[in-house]
Amino acid sequence: MAIPVVGLILGAIFGASLVLTGLTDPDRIIGSLRLKDFHALRTVVVSVLIALLGTWLLGMGGVAHLDIKPAAIVTLLMGGALVGIGLAITGFSPVTGLACAASGRIDALATVIGMLFGAHVYILIYPSIVAPLEKILNFGQVTLPQVTGTSEIPWLVAVFAAGILTLIFTRRGRSEHAELPSQTGLGVSEGNHPAGSAALTTDGLDAVGVLRMWKNFLFVVIVLSLVLLQAMFWLTNTGQVELGRDAGSGAGTGQSAIEANPSATAAIETQEPAAPRLLPFDLTMDHITAAVNSVNAVLIFASVLYVATAYVALSISIGGGLGGLGHVSRAFYLSVVVLILLLPWQILFGRVGLGVIYAPDELADSCMTGAGGTLQTALFYLRFTGTWALAMLVLILAQRRSIRWTRAALRQ
């Protein structure tokens, strides 16, 4: 009788929680999908983060009763799309539909009846349609760490970062009226522009338009470059790249900052992939070297231009008496922080200062050295992924600030 009691109590707590949290209100769900009311989305994101952390801790203690669903990609995509359609039409998911029906909603009751029919349809079509589809691109009951051959920590960090970013982006916007600080810190008081400066304001607004275009373009370039850089790290780290004799041969832009383990530099052997091949073609270190060097160059140029654009925007805001000075100031300083985070300081300072940009031979040496203890593993991922995530976050914050500046300036 233990299982029924546990199920009943857990279910009751769960059902009560759904009512308490407001997820039984279809308006909240629709509002989230329409990107107007983020209560439901933020609730779900926080619950995912808490559940992730708790499950990880339970797993470390060996008391987690995991239930990994099979990763049959085709049926997952189809099923997810149908769930999304149902969610959008009604504002109820299969679970919240039950809870809502229990809360007195007649429309939820109709949804539950529909769900019963849906279950029946599923059973009817299972042998002829679902069963064959489930066999296509079915990777089995696997987790993300298992697929990538890594530990859980980088994935924990990645999911937490994604969750926090979602919470930041769905934060209720502050009032975006133009900010007029009494002192800009650059010796110019914004409120003192002379009356009749309509022409100056008009020219300033024209400049805002141009700067907005370039700022957005550079932002996209930097984001794509960062994503590519991170992708190349993961391709190398998960054994998709042959780290043969060509590893880092004469093409690096700088010296390796992390002193390689002598045993790793002694005899470079071809490394067998630790995970299944995900790419339909072979990747060698030559390809990675060329790609990393190109991306590094683009990244440095684009980020310097991004900072310059922010500085020009700041100057125009001050000189033209445009609004949003607080936003553009923050955007400028955040863009400077991004540039500082990106630059490869390891060339000058060795291990003391590391930039997001890495040299191909540094990447090859680090991946071939492999992970030592937990601390080494944490430092390894912190260096290649942690700093990257931080730079990406600051970049996104800078872009958000600049978007607010643009709106404030154009509104004026």
Partner 1 sequence: MKEPSSQTPPVPWWTAGILLGLVQVLAIGLASSLDVSSQLVIADAKTLEHVAPEYAENHPLISDKEYNKFGYGSWLGIGLVLGAFFAALHLRMWKVRATSAWWRRNHNDPVLLRLIAGFCGGLCAMLGAGLACGGVIGQFIGGWAQLSLSAVPFTVAVFGSGMLVAYLIYPKTLAKDGRGQ
How far are the Cα atoms of 97, 211, 255 from residue 80, in angstroms, in the given order?
17, 40, 47
For the chain, the C-alpha Rg in angstroms (whole number) is: 27
Contacts of 368 (CB under 8 A, 6+ apart): 243, 247, 260, 264, 268, 271
Interface mask toward partner 1 for 214-253; x: CB under 8 A: ----------------------------------------
Q: Could you say which residues in the range 294-323 bind partner 1, by CB under 8 A?
A: none
Give whichever of 93 and 236 is closer to partner 1, judged by the CB atom. Answer: 93
Of the candidates 122, 47, 114, 126, the one whose C-alpha atom is nearest the C-alpha of residue 86 is: 114
Residue 53 corresponds to which tokens in the numbers above? 């952390």
Is 274 a binding residue for partner 1 by CB under 8 A? The answer is no
CA angle centred on 61, ends 144 and 9, rounded to 5°: 90
Is 371 a binding residue for partner 1 by CB under 8 A? The answer is no
* Segment contacting partner 1 by CB under 8 A, of 14-22, 216-224, 349-357, 398-406: 14-22
Give whichever of 127 and 187 is closer to partner 1, judged by the CB atom. Answer: 127
- Angstrom distance (rounded) from CA 371 to CA 382: 12
Residue 356 corresponds to which tokens in the numbers above? 């997001």
Interface mask toward partner 1 for 26-55; x: CB under 8 A: xxx-xx-xxxxxxx--xxxxxxxxxxx-xx
Give whichever of 43 and 261 is closer to partner 1, judged by the CB atom. Answer: 43
- Angstrom distance (rounded) from CA 370 to CA 359: 17
Q: How far apart are CB 160 and partner 1 at their closest, in Å?
A: 11
Give whichever of 71 and 382 is closer to partner 1, judged by the CB atom. Answer: 71
Is 9 a binding residue for partner 1 by CB under 8 A? The answer is yes
Q: Could you say which residues in the range 117-156 bind partner 1, by CB under 8 A?
A: 117-123, 126-127, 130-131, 133, 139, 141-147, 152, 155-156
Residue 305 corresponds to which tokens in the numbers above? 């231009």
Q: Give the DSSP per-residue string, 157-186.
A: HHHHHHHHHHHHHTSPPPP-SPP--S--SS
Q: How far apart are CB 374 and partner 1 at their closest, in Å?
A: 18
Q: Could you say which residues in the range 58-117 bind partner 1, by CB under 8 A?
A: 58, 63-73, 75-117
Give whichever of 173 and 373 is closer to partner 1, judged by the CB atom. Answer: 173
Of the candidates 178, 155, 177, 340, the one whose C-alpha atom is nearest the C-alpha of residue 237 is: 155
Give whichever of 148 and 335 is closer to partner 1, judged by the CB atom. Answer: 148
Residue 308 corresponds to which tokens in the numbers above? 């310059």
Residues listed for the chain: 412
Q: How far apart are CB 169 and partner 1 at their closest, in Å?
A: 14
